[in-house]
Amino acid sequence: MKTRTSATAIFVGIAAIAAGCASMSDQEASQKALELMKTSFSERGQAKLDRLDQDETQKLCSKPPALELSKEVATRIEKANLDSIRYPADGMLLGDWKSGERIAQSGIGKQFSDDPKLPSGANCYACHQLSKAEISYGTIGPSLYNYGKLRGTSEPIQRYTYGKVYNSQAFTACSNMPRFGHNAILTEQQMKDVTALLLDPNSPVNQ
């Protein structure tokens, strides 16, 4: 009953905001909605309220016109996120594909119940097919089976792949893919390992 009451209160609050939107600017309405959401969340473990705070990219992608982004806004988003990518100082972009496969299959990390001292996973299989042997996988993202076999392993492809893992919005504005490096979900070494999983000829992705 407590959950139902809370949900009802949130619904009533949202309805009230919607009713008053005609007299509010977009910024005022967004601020009111954010304040309402923060009253319905409580911090638990590593899940803090600052997760509700949006950066510029998230704000632009949360606006209703995001479904039909103008070329100007899309270019602005991609440029800002491309500039944020930090490639490895040692110049090495490929790690261990076996480690990358474990990372791709792991959904651990960033939840309030997870130990923040332990490494996060990428949970790639939730959205992509990665290997022929995988019988259950998500379809939100495209199949990545034979990713490296089709593209090769040239330096530009390595940089693109690492960059895509680091910050997907640098290449596709308002992508649903997590920004693993930008949001510190994965470490540099983990991103190298995932890049290797996608590109290494011996990886199950390319068999």
Contact 180, 81 (CB under 8 A): no
pLDDT band at 200 (very low <50, low <70, confident <90, very high): very high
Asked if residue 5 has pLDDT above 70, the reply is no
Q: Look at residue 172 in the predicted model and tell me its pLDDT.
A: 96
Where is pLDDT greater, at 170 or 65?
Answer: 170
Nearest to 195 by CA among 170, 159, 168: 159
Angle, in degrees to the nearest 10, between helices 26-40 and 2-20: 170
- Mean pLDDT, the chain, whole residue set: 88
What whole-number distance in Å separates Cα of residue 123 and Cα of residue 99?
Answer: 13
Contact 150, 198 (CB under 8 A): no
Domains detected in the chain: 1-40 (no CATH), 44-207 (1.10.760.10)
The set of residues, in sequence order, having a beta carbon less than 8 Å from that of 119 and lying 6+ positions away, is 103, 109, 186, 187, 190
pTM as predicted: 0.82
Asked if residue 4 has pLDDT above 70, the reply is no
pLDDT band at 3 (very low <50, low <70, confident <90, very high): very low
What whole-number distance in Å separates Cα of residue 137 and Cα of residue 196?
Answer: 20
- The region, left, alpha or beta by phi > 0 then psi within -120 to 50, assigned to residue 96 is beta
Where is pLDDT greater, at 32 or 116?
Answer: 116
Asked if residue 135 has pLDDT above 60, the reply is yes
- Residue carrying the six token digits 């390595």: 158
Instruction: Read off the DSSP letter of residue 47.
Output: B
Assign 44 to helix, strand or coil: strand
- The pLDDT tens digits for 74-133 are 999 999 999 999 999 999 999 999 999 999 999 999 999 999 999 999 999 999 999 999
- The pLDDT tens digits for 34-86 are 788 778 888 889 988 888 889 999 989 987 755 678 999 999 999 999 999 99
Q: Which residues pair with 44 in a beta bridge?
A: 47
